[in-house]
Amino acid sequence: MPKMVFVSPDGQTRTEVDAPVGLSVLEIAHRNKIDLEGACEGSLACSTCHVVIDPEYFGNLPEATEEEEDMLDLAFGLTHTSRLGCQIIMTEDLDGLIVTLPAATRNMMVDK
């Protein structure tokens, strides 16, 4: 089974987990009690599952859709390798994927 690594926002903690093919990074995080919010539950309506992809793996991902790009524009701490965890579906080619959790999120879905 493929593996992936979640890196804490401060870079100090690396958590390697099983990453079943066909699950999203968001689903894998939730299965492993990784603190990745996902306020819209993967419906591409927020940016709270924003992750930063290790540059070594970024080129292995399919390109982001226009809808994902629009949501990423709302993400805190956006980088050139930022993606939404709900939109990255695990494949064998992504075995070893490393993602870093951002220091904060912007949840536009919370009632003010």
* Cβ(97)–Cβ(5) below 8 Å: yes
Continuous segment of H or E residues that includes residue 70? helix 66-72
Give the residues across from 89 on adjacent strands: 24
Q: What is the pLDDT of residue 109?
A: 44
Helices first, then strands: H and E counts in the chain: 3, 5
Output the pLDDT for position 107.
54
Domain spanning 3-100, CATH architecture? Roll (3.10)
Q: Which stretches does DSSP call E strand in 1-112?
A: 3-7, 14-18, 50-53, 82-84, 97-100
* Residues paired with 17 in a beta bridge: 4
Going from the first residue of the chain to its last (112 residues), give the mean pLDDT of each consecutive group of 10, the final group possibly shorter. 96 97 98 94 92 96 96 92 97 97 66 36
